[in-house]
Chain A
């Protein structure tokens, strides 16, 4: 086997030129960024969460900035899986980067159908979002009920023939490691963690919530220590690889996520501030590895000293 370059990693049999993926919901469908950065230089792109039918999302206002963080309740607005496969994916495939299709459903049947369509398409990996409201089951999130998580993971895994399945976990649970273990036992090939943390912000003049949905998901540097702790807990309890994310702003944050067990990472909110951030981090990581004489970044995965 050819010697891997410093930042090259392999995840579920898929080679990545570097371990930086643009996180779902923060890079549109990738193409929105092509005028701003060279998409060939990022390790991968996880596109906006796709559903069976197009989704209009939540009412406005949808976002609000809080201390070192951003609360959003976009409501999973997306063009629908068919429009993505037919009209967006062909252009996205022209870039030399790993395409990850984030997807969700309102029922297990929808999850299965979207997964089936994506598995047969030109994408490289599937990332199942289990943090959306489960309307059919009465508002319980698939990601916060162990039984539901097992059911949806099992069902989706059965239909997928070609592509690895990442399960993106919700942090809004008591013990995230048990959810990671349940996903692993139900056939997940990889875990991504964490999604946003349920949060609120209130306008003290109008007494109203600052976003129309009342609650939303908090992202950004405010949540990074929580995300690092959760990846640490997950790593100790499962054997499948982990994609770490939550508030990464610079290369030092990336290294923290590696040390607690991440194999690759995703950059989210930082893309909003500067789409160059991911590329800057790649350069900074190379410098760090050179300084420390580390041959490949994978050597750092799980190397925390406790």
Chain B
């Protein structure tokens, strides 16, 4: 547990924000897919919201960690009130991370809405290694398509929105028709599940799961993910994940 200083907390649009916080040298070793937890109000004695919230490390800028968040409930709403130099409680690095030691690979990055959050850092680690990268990015409407300036170095960007207000109208999974060696997927569970059906069978798939977590360190057993072949043992999203082999996840057992 550490105290961190807010460097900036910028509004991207009505729902999306990007926030930079000071980080220890340990936290700055974040790998793509790692997450941190934040107490989302300034005062630790305030009990509503009660629990910390988990956020993917979105990027690293100098000595600071950047998260990207969408306002969903009281926890994320509380984050929007933070201002430069405010102090908040953080924990992490937490969880495992994406396989980013890849060279000469055909790679798909598939994001749904706020599922874009972990990918700026991943792209930073994958470009300039002769990797070929396609970004698939879908949202409900144009407000759900953010951070595009972080993906200038990918080879292709495919964008869809359900209302057609940006990119093509429809679901992003409808546009996956090329072959890849590895895919990284983060978004709503149905979208991740559908991505797996659309990707070629030889493609490795790493998904970043999000389940409600109370602690982030394996205490509460609230964020269970079931994997095929390991039916007797539940996996903890926080401790064993959040990155899992997408082909092994038992999607039917999750909150869709």
Contact = CB atoms under 8 A, between A and B. Distances in A.
Interface string A47-62: 0100000101101111
Contact of A74 (B1, B217, B222): B222
SS class, residues of chain B in contact with chain A: loop
Closest 4 CB pairs of A and B: A63-B222, A272-B215, A272-B214, A68-B47
B224 A57 contact: yes
B202 interface: no
A145 to B, nearest CB: 27
A32 B232 contact: no
B203 to A, nearest CB: 26
B232 A63 contact: no
Nearest to A33: B219
Interface stretch (B23-31, B48-56, B108-116, B126-134): B48-56
B70 interface: no
Contacts of B75: 65
Interface of A: 25-28, 32-33, 36, 48, 54, 56-57, 59-65, 67-70, 72, 74, 77, 212, 220-222, 249-250, 269, 271-276
B218 interface: yes
Given A54-B232, A63-B223, A77-B221, 15 more contacts: A32-B218, A60-B211, A60-B224, A63-B213, A64-B212, A65-B49, A68-B47, A68-B50, A69-B50, A220-B47, A269-B50, A271-B219, A272-B220, A274-B91, A275-B1
Contacts of A220: 47, 50
B255 A61 contact: yes
A26 B219 contact: yes
6 contacts: A33-B217, A56-B232, A63-B222, A74-B222, A269-B50, A273-B215
A16 to B, nearest CB: 21
Given A57-B234, A63-B220, A249-B47, A273 B254 contact: no
B72 to A, nearest CB: 12
Contacts of B253: 59-60
A60 B254 contact: yes
B148 interface: no
A25 B232 CA distance: 20
A56 B253 CA distance: 13
Contacts of B39: 273-274
Interface residues of B, number: 32
B234 A74 contact: no
A272 B219 contact: yes
Contacts of A32: 217-219, 239
Contacts of A276: 1
A67 B253 CA distance: 27
Nearest to B89: A274
A83 B192 CA distance: 35
Contacts of B223: 62-63
Contacts of A74: 220-222
A15 to B, nearest CB: 26
B219 A63 contact: no
Contact of A273 (B48, B52, B211, B232): B52
Given A67-B48, A70-B51, A271 B215 contact: yes
B228 to A, nearest CB: 15
A137 B91 CA distance: 44
Nearest to A31: B218
Contacts of B224: 57, 60, 62, 77
A56 B48 CA distance: 31
A68 B49 CA distance: 7
A220 B220 CA distance: 13
A50 B211 CA distance: 25
A276 B211 CA distance: 24
Contacts of B50: 65, 68-70, 220-221, 269, 273
A163 to B, nearest CB: 25
Given A54-B232, A57-B224, A68-B47, A275 B214 contact: no
Interface in B86-121: 89, 91
Contacts of A222: 47
A25 B220 contact: yes
A271 B91 CA distance: 13
Q: Which of B49, B214, B218 has the most CB of A within 10 A?
A: B214
Given A249-B47, A269-B50, A28 B234 contact: no
A62 B221 contact: yes
Q: Which of B39, B218, B224 has the most CB of A within 10 A?
A: B224
A28 B218 contact: yes
A275 B48 contact: no
A230 B219 CA distance: 27
A48 B222 CA distance: 13
Given A60-B254, A61-B212, A63-B214, A272 B51 contact: yes
A36 B217 CA distance: 9
A277 B77 CA distance: 25
Interface in B15-64: 39, 44-45, 47-52
Contacts of A249: 45, 47
